[in-house]
Amino acid sequence: MKDLESLSATQAIKALAKREIKATNLLLSCLDRIGQKESIVKAWASLGKENALSRARALDKGAFQGLLHGLPIGVKDLYDTYDLPTSYGSPIYANNYPSADAVSVALMRQAGGIILGKTVTTEFATFKSGVTTNPHHSKHTPGGSSSGSAAAVADFMVPLATGSQTAGSIIRPASFCGIVGFKPSFGKVSIAGIKSLSITLDTMGCFGRTIEDVGLGVAAMSGDHRLAKIEALHNKPRIAICKTSNWSLANKETATALAVARHAAEIISKGAVADQKLPKTCDGLAQAQSRIMLSEMSRSLAFEHFHYPKKLSAQLSKQLIEGAQISYEQYAKDLQFANRARASMAELFSNEIDILIAPSATGEAPNIKDGTGDPIFCRGWTLLGLPCININMGNGPNGLPVGIQLIAGLGKDHFLLSAARAFALALPDPVLRDQA
């Protein structure tokens, strides 16, 4: 079997389980791809080649170990790893070697995963651009903060990689890089052993090239193994388009992607798909998310800001000062607002709708000098804690990918995966249907 690095995670696992391929050969193919492209893409903060090869050889000799048996994985450099440095994207932690894995990394290893290396994150998972480039065009951003993970999966360096989202750091990079990104329900994946930015918002997930891939990844990361088996939809889901109150910021390519999405949604819902406005209690979601994030950041990074101010970027220092200026009374009001908005959305999903379709980003990936892109179309869903999945819808005017996101009710992660696969299979382009 040639071109092993091009196998999706699901394809690779099936071949590994049948012993049609060896974990060692799959890993070597990924390493070869990294050798060819890393100087351009710059997706990796560190690689653990020898440990990974040793692990692959042991897996090839032993019994089938679990959901991720023999699968090379990239881990965002926000997650602690006991055998690789963890810098959180900051020079402050350049020589940081944690004594233990993050819970989700430990579970992935337990499931047979091979941790190939740490992927580049922006500084403490914030907004300052890192070194990583978009695999489709090196002058454009891959998005942030999960820059390296999205780029590594999109460029066939690894079939699966972890990410985190506090504003839009899984969905937006997945859209910019043309892959599947899955942000599960808030709390689905443990944040223990991960450098926290905002305890109210931080959500762990992963990137893959198919919907099955990301279901497999989050199944292993969370311990909820039901997610590894996507069931067919048995009923017509109630689907609506939600352009959100920020629709004026969407570029033409995003409007086109949403129009194609509407057609696919009508096929699986067997009826018209209407536009859906969010309840009035959700007015101001993005603004509340931004304040909560800044306020909690100012406390989460208080140690670094006090002891190492000169090692923080000017951009991050400014944000920390802004966050500290938000009164605790305002912060408490925003948390109360979030609770009311979540209750309203629970009612909406219970009584009126099963799936919402919304933009993933304003459009194609911007030029890398202009930053990692605006997370405006993700902020509200992150604050609501709802499961979201990005699906590639084609290319924009510059030939760069454009995605949309599907959103389900809180805790409906398994259903969301089923709906997403049905949706992908209904797309007109056979290449895009391969995401299923």
| Residues classed as catalytic | 76, 145, 169
Task: Look up residue 23 and give its amino acid.
Answer: A
What type of residue sits at position 271?
G
* Beta carbons within 8 Å of 303's beta carbon, 6+ residues apart: none
In one-letter notation, the amino acid at residue 118 is K
CA angle 386, 391, 396 (to 5 degrees): 125
Neighbouring residues of 280: CB distance < 8 A, sequence distance ≥ 6: none
The residues, any chain, with a CB within 8 Å of residue 112's CB and separated by 6 or more, are 59, 64, 65, 66, 67, 68, 69, 70, 71
Q: What is the 3-state secondary structure (H, E, C) of 412-431?
A: CHHHHHHHHHHHHHCCCCHH
Distances (CA, A) of 414 to 209, 215, 336: 18, 8, 28
